[in-house]
Amino acid sequence: MITDPWFYAVAIPAVLLFGISKGGFGGGLGTAAVPLMALVISPVRAAAILLPILCIMDLVAMWKFRGKWLWPELKILLPASLLGILAGTLLFEYMSVSVVRLIVGAVAISFTLHYWINKKRSSSADLPHYPRSYALLGGSVAGFTSFVAHSGGPPISMYLLRRPLDRTEFAGTTILFFAVVNYVKLIPYAWLGQFDTDNLATSAALVVLAPIGVLIGAWLHKRVTDRFFFGMVYVLLFAVGLKLIVDGVTPYL
């Protein structure tokens, strides 16, 4: 078990942030958790420690948003995510986490800039919706980036924010999507030897924060308007994109 106090100084807020995100804010907040923990440990180990905690969060979040997800979206998103997880598993020993962060960060920033530019000409409700076939791309990219660094929030947000969903449907759909993805990820993570006793003991020490973070997120979700909620998600998506780019470029400087 990790005993370094600096680790817990970043891990505790990271876990709470992820829980708040899962509690009703679409996953964008949680993308910063692995980069935060990677300040003191490797991102691969940070992802391994977080995964069992995320699985507990998923159970609490599904209970809070039970029945609020949209199956027509998930029927395409979930099978596509399995392709992304499979690709992540096969490329695990060869891929660069920094490159993945750069790609996801660049797409997140370009998407939010495109949205803000278009918003000056029309309201978000008037912007054209993505066809459901785009879920194949969003789901597979989310599955891959979620496998690498639990950063599947931006790809899913980029698709669902341009679908005709209200904030509760958006939150519920992302919650069930990542619940399935995270439980599927347990299999390849175990196969790749990521769940050693040290990592599992550290996960156990932090898991008490899982329901606390989710319940805080659910409480906040009920107290903000649709306009504020989606506006905040776009701002968070942009901020996360910047963070991912910085983290991706740093190893090459």
The residue length of the chain stands at: 253
Angstrom distance (rounded) from CA 63 to CA 107:
32
Q: Give, in order, the Cα–Cα distances in Å from 179 to each of 15, 66, 118, 151.
A: 16, 12, 33, 14
Based on its alpha-carbon atoms, the radius of gyration of the chain, rounded to whole angstroms, reads: 17
Angstrom distance (rounded) from CA 145 to CA 101:
8
Angstrom distance (rounded) from CA 224 to CA 248:
33
Angstrom distance (rounded) from CA 229 to CA 231:
5
Q: Amino acid identity, residue 191?
A: W
Q: What is the pLDDT of residues 216-234, one digit of tens each?
A: 888 887 887 767 766 777 7
pTM summary value: 0.81
Find, among 60, 7, 22, 43, the residue nearest to 206 by Cα.
Answer: 7
Q: What is the pLDDT of residues 3-49, one digit of tens each?
A: 889 899 989 988 998 888 887 776 666 777 887 787 788 888 889 99
Q: What is the pLDDT of residues 156-208, one digit of tens each?
A: 888 888 888 888 888 899 989 999 999 999 999 999 999 999 999 999 999 99
